[in-house]
A and B are shown apart, each in its own frame.
Chain A
Amino acid sequence: MSDTTRIMAHVIPWYPDRAQSMDAVRGLVDAGVSYLEVQFPFSDPTADGPAIQAACSDALEAGFTVADGFAFLDEIRSFTDIPIFLMSYASLIYRPGVQAFVARAQEHGVAGLIVPDLPPDYDEGLYTACRDAGIACVPVLVATSTDTRVDLALSTRPEYTYVALRTGTTGSRTELGALNMGFLEKLGASGTKIFAGFGIQDAEQVQALAPHCEAAVVGSAFVRTIAAASGGGVYEAVKERAESLLGRK
C-alpha cells in the first residue's frame, strides 16, 4: 500500500453505549486512521442511510445528549490529537444558535464542522461563524452536483470538501466509476482537500480512492463492525477492520 492511504473514520458517540463507542474510537486511532468524523445523533437524519440512522436512534435511546457529545470529544482529546470533524444536522446547530454551537465546537477542539442540510446558500451564517472561530466548515457535494453548485461551495474557499460519491445515501457498496473519479479530479484541482465517502466497504475501494482525495470516509462499515462485536471486543474488532481497510493486514 502507499503511505498516502488515509481514512476518515466515522463514529457515533453512545452507539451502542458510551463505553463501547469510546472503545471504537480507541481502536480506530490505534489502527492509524487519519481523521475522525464524529456524528452527533439527530432524531431525523434524512441524509443518512438505514444503518447509520438506526445507530443514531440507538445512541439517542442510550441517552446521548449534546453536552455528552462534547464531553466525549474532550475525552478523545485527552489521548490523541487526531483532527476531529463534527458532523450533525441543522436542527442541533440551529437550536442553541449557530454562533453558540460553533463557539462550543471550537472550545472543544473540533477541527471542522460538516452539516449536510446547511448548504452555503441556506447556511444560517454557519460559514461565517466557522471562519470567525478559525475552524473549517466543510461543504458537502455529490458527484452529480452541477457546476453552479460546485462553484458555490468553492466560493466559500473551503480547506476541505466532503464528496458523497454515490447518488443516494450511505450504506450500500459504491462503484468507483468514471463519473466519481472525474469529479474528484476536477474538484481536487481547485486546491480543496477532499474527504470522499459513502458506501466504502473494502481495502480495494480505499486504495482506488487514495490518489484522488485527502482521505476516504468510512462510516456504515464500522457501524456494522461495532454491531457485530457489541457486548465484548469492540476495540479489537474495529481496530482490525480499520487496519484491513488501510491495507495493513
Chain B
Amino acid sequence: MKQLYNDFFGEFGGRYVAEVLRSPLDELEGAFVEALSDEAFMSEFHRLLASYVGRPTPLLHAENVTRDVGGAQVYIKLEGLAATGAHKINNALGQALLAKRMGKPRIIAETGAGQHGVATAAVCAKLGLQCRVYMGEVDMRRQKPNVFWMEMYGAEVVPVTSGARTLKDAVNEAMRDWSANFADTHYLLGSALGPSPFPDMVREFQSVIGTEVVSQLSDLGVRPTTLVTCVGGGSNAMGFFSPYIDQSEPELIGVEAGGRGPAQGDHAARMNGLGTPGIVQGYRSLFLLDNDGQVMPTHSVSAGLDYPGVGPQLAHLGQTGRVRFERATDAEALEGLQYFARKEGVIFALESAHAGMVAIKRAKELTPDDAVVINMSGRGDKDLFITARELDAERWKEFLTREVESL
C-alpha cells in the first residue's frame, strides 16, 4: 500500500523550519493522516468535488490533433474545466475541509498568478471560512482580474512588498502570518512543496486527477504510453502522475518553463542540471541558487511556472529517472496555445500549453497504437491580458484605450 506520509523522498523533502512552526506542522501531519483514513471526511470531499468543483473533469480524445500530428493518439485531460478554471481547487477544497475539521476558522494562502488564491477564496466562501491571500505586489499588478475575483469571493488580498514581490515572497509572508496565528489559522499551501506534510498532503488531494485518468482510459480500453504535464511547484504533476509513479509504465514527462532561454534569470527550469540542491522555504530540493545559496530571479511568460524551486517528490522522481523533464520556451507555449485552440477548440492556460507542445513532439515519434495524455491543468481565460498583448498587441491596445476613455 502506498504511504500517505513520507516526509522525505530519497534525499529531498523534510521539515526545515524555525521552531515556531514545528507544532503547527506536527499537528497538521497528525490531522492529515487521520482525515485521509476517515471515510466520512473523504466522502464529504468527494461529494463536494462532484457537486461544487464539477468532477470528474472530461478526458478528450483530441482527434484533430491526432490526425494532424500523425503519430500517437492524443488525449487531453480537461482539468481546466474544474470550477475556478484550474486543478488548484482540488487541493484548496481538501485542505479547507481539513482546516474545518481541525477547528481553524481562518485560512491564509499565498498566490502567484492568482489561480490558487482564487480557488482558495472560492472554497472559503463555500465553506464559511475567513480568507486572507498574500500576493506579491508585482503579481497583483500583472494579475488584476484575479485580485478582483478573490475580493468578489470575500477574501482579503494583501500585497507583499518584500523581496522580489512575487510568489516566493508571498510564501514567506504567509509563513510569517502562520507563525503568529496558527492557533486559529490554517496555512493552505497551494503546491506540492514546502515543509512536510505539505508535499504529501497536496499530492493526495490532487491525486483525484490521476485516479480519474486511470478509470477514463480504462473505460476507453486505452493503455497510455506517455503522460505529459507542466511543472511549476508540481501540484498538478504529482496529482496526475500519482497512480503511476510506482510502476515502470507509462512514460512520465514533466515540462518546465524554458522562458527566453537557458541564461540565468531567463527561465524557471530546475531539472536537468540547471538547479542545485538546496534548503529553502522549509524543504530540501532543487532550486535556482547562486554560489552563496541566494535564491535567483526567474522568468516565464506563465506566472504559474515562475517559481525557483521544484517539489521534493518530483526532484526525487527526476533523479531516479521515473519522470523525464523537458523545457518549453515562452514562444513555444504561445504557439501551443494557438495550435490547440484552432485544431481542437480548447484554450489552454499558458502553463499547460508548455506541456501541449512537448506532448506533440513526443506523439510524432510514436505510432497510432500509442497514446499520449496531456494534463491541461488550467484553461486559458485567465491569461487574456497576457496573451492578447503578446499575440495581438495593436488591436488589444486600441480596445484598452477605448475602455479607459469610456470609464
Contact = CB atoms under 8 A, between A and B. Distances in A.
A124 B11 CA distance: 11
Interface in B1-47: 14-20, 22-23
Interface string A66-92: 100000000000000000000000111
A40 to B, nearest CB: 9
A91 B16 CA distance: 10
B279 A124 contact: yes
A45 B278 contact: no
Given A43-B295, A149-B22, A168-B20, A91 B15 contact: no
Interface residues of A, number: 39
Given A53-B172, A57-B163, A91 B22 contact: no
B367 interface: no
B18 A146 contact: no
Interface residues of B, number: 35
A168 B278 CA distance: 25
A99 interface: no
A167 interface: yes
A164 B20 contact: yes
Contacts of B169: 44
Contacts, number: 113
Given A44-B163, A50-B162, A117-B282, A92 B292 contact: yes
A95 B289 CA distance: 8
Given A47-B20, A53-B163, A145-B22, A91 B180 contact: no
A187 interface: no
A46 B293 CA distance: 15
B225 interface: no
Say what secondary structure dominates the interface of chain A: loop
Nearest to A150: B19
B5 to A, nearest CB: 16
Q: Which of A44, A90, A116, A139 has the most CB of B within 10 A?
A: A44
B292 A95 contact: yes
A91 B20 contact: no
Interface string B282-311: 101001010111110000000000000000
Q: Which of A92, A95, A124 has the most CB of B within 10 A?
A: A95
Contacts of B293: 42, 66, 91-96
19 contacts: A42-B293, A44-B172, A44-B280, A46-B18, A46-B281, A47-B179, A60-B294, A90-B280, A91-B278, A94-B284, A117-B16, A119-B18, A122-B16, A140-B19, A142-B19, A149-B19, A168-B20, A168-B176, A169-B179
Given A90-B279, A91-B294, 12 more contacts: A42-B293, A46-B281, A47-B18, A94-B278, A94-B284, A95-B291, A95-B292, A117-B16, A140-B19, A142-B20, A168-B179, A169-B20
